[in-house]
Amino acid sequence: MSEENRKAIRISVRNLVEFVLRSGDIDNRRSGNAQKDAMLAGGRIHRKIQKRMGSGYRAEVPLKHEVQDEEQEITLLVEGRADGIFTENGIPVIDEIKGMYTDISRLEEPIEVHLAQAMCYGYFYCCDKDLDGIRLQMTYCNLETEEIKRFQTDRSREELETWFSGVVHEYFKWARYLYHHELTRDASIGHLEFPFPYRAGQRDLVVSVYRTVSRKKRLFIQAPTGIGKTLSTVFPAVRAIGEGKGDKLFYLTAKTVTRTVAEEAFRILRDHGLIFTSVTITAKEKLCPMDECECNPDACPYAKGHFDRVNEAVFDILHLEQEMTREKILQYAEKYRVCPFEYCLDISSWTDGIICDYNYVFDPNVRLKRYFADGQKGDYLFLVDEAHNLVSRAREMYSAELKKEDLLTVKRLVKQKAPRLEKNLEKCSQVMLGMKRECETWQLLSDVTSLAAAAMAVFSDMETFLEDFPEFEGRDTVLDFYFGLRDFLNVYELLDDHYRIYAENVGVTSFKVRLFCVDPSANLSLCMSQGNSTILFSATMLPIRYYKTLLSGNEDDYAVYADSPFEEEKRLLMVATDVSSRYSRRSESEYRKVAEYIREVVLSKSGNYMIFFPSYQYMEQVEYAVEDVDFPADLLVQGQGMKEQERQEFLEEFEKPRDHSLAAFCVMGGVFSEGIDLKEERLIGAVIVGTGLPMVCVEQEVLRGYFEEKEEAGFDFAYQYPGMNKVLQAAGRVIRTTEDEGIILLLDDRFLKKEYLELFPREWEHFQMVNRKNVGQCLSDFWESRGR
């Protein structure tokens, strides 16, 4: 086969050895997988050890090796960086450094996959320098004490070559699958056409996405519901993959319901001839077939021997399925008796597309290390659905907090079991007590070095403690604290000008210190740069500058505003001039006004309506007021903390036939204000009470102060823009398809202010101002014009 037609596959040394050499059980009883948890802090200790080794020590030496399969179809490029190379008594030495939180004195021999990495580098170096043999050194370092333990072994080149040939021989079975699949896939993409006639604005959207991917840029898309955003982004991204502009598509979502929309988009394209494998990654708790998620061989038969069976299970599903949904994963996992979640992650390595939550790409504690560890990059395309959600989600991902009461709770639970840990918990508690005494309600802090140092001492002791005490009452509480402490220390390493640190007294006994990522753009942008291109899209991405600032930090990123494909006359938008939800105006008379407006809406035409309120408390007050206005509709009220079954039953009410109206009371920004799809007659109107402003609280005030310092409009960034997004999302429930007709009523005179009118989307250019006297006639005229 000619060189240009041969398939080139790149893989890191770590990914190769971890994939081929794994065996045995899943066992997460060790507190949290010390090796994995140490990755973020490992870079620092690597550099420290490397500097100590003297001038003859070469650090971070790139090494790679090419090998071809027997059929000459595939060239496998295995690459990585040796932590260090030096000479000892005339013998070249490969040094592999691993930072750990565990007590390294307990190690009796190097961990197999670590030694395997060193053997790869040793073999590559022997080939490069034509050596007959080499010395391999494993350097283990405790990240807290900096204690070091080393293991050495000498290996001949012949021995390393035989071993490496066996490893790549096993891998080539998988590489050949990938090679032949991609040939078939790309041929199918070459004949793929957009599956439907383009709606207004849809072709321009498709072209914009394709151009952005081709240029390896980022694109922000504001596109109204119904334009077909999912298909309009998936189709051009798939076409780009077929032309070699990417090799894996990540479709990222905030909610389960959006994942099903993505699955349907791929299904439609497959029905039109596309060959394209995709897997949907579902949270471990939702995939686990056991009553409790205990990932160890004693508690779970799927964990026992998982690694002995999982590669065969992956190979099977890849040859039989293109669409690997939650149901398919569970079916095959049961057949092979493997952990469904770990199985799902392994499948993702071989699929063309991955549908998953944001956190698998962006969250530093959850992101998929097989793609993103150590800053590695790939030809990935990121499609970020409902991207307006990523602002708040990212702030959570990159923030962390430590509570004083949690320290005291854990101290009680470990009492008399671990004197040193107990002592360090007390020291950490005393540091926080000193901070608490200086804080009346809340205050910004410039530095928390002393707290971080005390927390690090606790964290180091906890690793050993949790290994020594695998069973005791309250262990789950201690484990939760351990992971929270890990997050706190990891975020502490990220602190920069995009953060604010604050202490807060919460109630009488609670005190916390929060590392708050106010502006997540730098962290997110770093993640996006690990792929080729990112497309961020939403029906509510206004103002675009706000989202560019917080999601990428680059105002030069491309942006597209897609026009609505809907006929404007099918929707009535009204703004009330004589009612307000301002705190200063809240009273029984104001609640009654709102109730009267709702009554006029549900009387105007029998149907299903959603009424969105700024809070549960406000909703409750209007519920009382409704009783006094002779309400002519069935009332359905969202409860706090509704379980999945209760939410489903709530939505099922919209399917029932009625000879009168249904008024569903919901909270703006809640589970029913976005992500639900009630088409045509299932929902014909929405009433939105208030401007959606977040409650005034410490976090929002910190946000406001930060953006005022940055010469931005602090109130806008902290309150107005997030509030308007909630309004637009709630309003977006009404018009879902070209067949839909309905009304939107905004109940707050603040919507008529210039700063709010500027945030209205283009399709809201024409609206009617109404009051309680004329709203009934306005509604009647609209429904009559629609022949209703």
Interstrand relation of 685-689 and 742-747 (parallel, antiparallel or unpaired): parallel
What pLDDT score was predicted for residue 141?
86
**Residue 47 pLDDT greater than 80, yes or no:** no
Average pLDDT, the chain: 91
Band (374; pLDDT cuts 50, 70, 90): confident
Same domain, 116 and 247: no
pLDDT tens, residue by residue, 409-424: 999 999 989 999 999 9
Q: Between residues 31 and 436, which one has the greater pLDDT?
A: 436
Band (596; pLDDT cuts 50, 70, 90): very high
Q: Which CATH number characterizes residue 81's domain?
A: 3.90.320.10
φ/ψ region of 364 (left if φ > 0, alpha if ψ in -120 to 50, else beta) reads alpha
Same domain, 633 and 780: yes
Q: Do residues 83 and 60 make contact, with C-beta atoms less than 8 angstroms apart?
A: yes
What pLDDT score was predicted for residue 34?
42
Burial call 254-285: b when 16+ CB within 10 Å, e when fewer: bbeebbbbbbebbebbbeeebbbbbbbbbeee
Same domain, 421 and 296: no
Same domain, 612 and 664: yes
154-163, 352-361, 638-647: the lowest-pLDDT one: 638-647
Same domain, 339 and 373: no
**Domain contains 197:** yes
CA angle centred on 762, ends 252 and 728, rounded to 5°: 50
**Domain contains 288:** yes
Band (5; pLDDT cuts 50, 70, 90): low
Containing 297, the helix (H) or strand (E) segment is none
Same domain, 14 and 135: yes
Task: Give one DSSP letter per residue of 722-788, joined into a string.
Answer: HHHHHHHHHHTTT--STT--EEEEEE-GGGGSHHHHTTS-GGGSS-EEE-TTTHHHHHHHHHHHTT-
Percentage with pLDDT > 90 across the chain? 71
What pLDDT score was predicted for residue 4?
58
DSSP designation for 373: G
Q: Between residues 397 and 18, which one has the greater pLDDT?
A: 397
Tokens of 384: 């970020």
Band (35; pLDDT cuts 50, 70, 90): very low
What pLDDT score was predicted for residue 22?
86
Band (31; pLDDT cuts 50, 70, 90): very low
What pLDDT score was predicted for residue 242?
97
Same domain, 108 and 257: no
What pLDDT score was predicted for residue 105?
82
**Residue 72 pLDDT greater than 80, yes or no:** no
**Domain contains 269:** no
Same domain, 389 and 406: no
What pLDDT score was predicted for residue 69?
85
**Domain contains 270:** no
Same domain, 535 and 499: no
Q: Which CATH number characterizes residue 477's domain?
A: 1.10.275.40
Range 314-324 average pLDDT: 96
**Domain contains 449:** yes
- Whole-structure pTM over 0.85, yes or no? yes
Range 360-369 average pLDDT: 92
Among 767, 721, 776, 774, residue whose Cα is nearest residue 746 = 767
pLDDT tens, residue by residue, 191-236: 999 999 998 889 999 999 999 999 999 999 999 877 889 999 999 9
Band (351; pLDDT cuts 50, 70, 90): very high
Same domain, 100 and 62: yes
What pLDDT score was predicted for residue 292?
86
Band (39; pLDDT cuts 50, 70, 90): very low
Band (563; pLDDT cuts 50, 70, 90): confident
pLDDT tens, residue by residue, 116-162: 999 999 999 999 999 999 999 998 888 777 888 899 999 999 999 99
**Residue 612 φ then ψ, to 5°:** -105, 130
For residues 104 and 100, give the distance between their C-alpha atoms in angstroms, rounded to a whole number: 8
What pLDDT score was predicted for residue 580?
92
What pLDDT score was predicted for residue 33?
43
**Domain contains 667:** yes
Band (45; pLDDT cuts 50, 70, 90): low
**Domain contains 179:** no
What pLDDT score was predicted for residue 40?
41
Same domain, 140 and 195: no
What pLDDT score was predicted for residue 549?
95
3-state secondary structure of 483: helix
Q: Between residues 558 and 461, which one has the greater pLDDT?
A: 558
pLDDT tens, residue by residue, 663-720: 999 999 988 988 788 887 899 999 999 999 999 999 999 999 999 998 778 999 999 9
**Domain contains 600:** yes
Amino acid symbol at 428: C
**Residue 30 pLDDT greater than 70, yes or no:** no
Instruction: Specify the length of the chain in residues.
Output: 788
pLDDT tens, residue by residue, 579-592: 999 988 889 999 99
**Residue 107 pLDDT greater than 90, yes or no:** no
For residues 415 and 238, give the distance between their C-alpha atoms in angstroms, rounded to a whole number: 57
Band (509; pLDDT cuts 50, 70, 90): confident
Would you say the C-alpha torsion 344, 345, 350, 353 has a positive or negative sign? positive
DSSP designation for 675: S
Q: What's the domain range around 124? A: 3-174
Burial call 631-642: b when 16+ CB within 10 Å, e when fewer: bebebbebeeee
Same domain, 197 and 239: yes
For residues 204 and 444, give the distance between their C-alpha atoms in angstroms, rounded to a whole number: 47
Range 57-86 average pLDDT: 90
Band (43; pLDDT cuts 50, 70, 90): low
Range 281-296 average pLDDT: 90
For residues 319 and 174, give the distance between their C-alpha atoms in angstroms, rounded to a whole number: 11
Structure-token match 């090494």, residue found: 63
Number of domains in the chain: 5
**Residue 644 pLDDT greater than 90, yes or no:** no
pLDDT tens, residue by residue, 765-777: 999 999 999 999 9
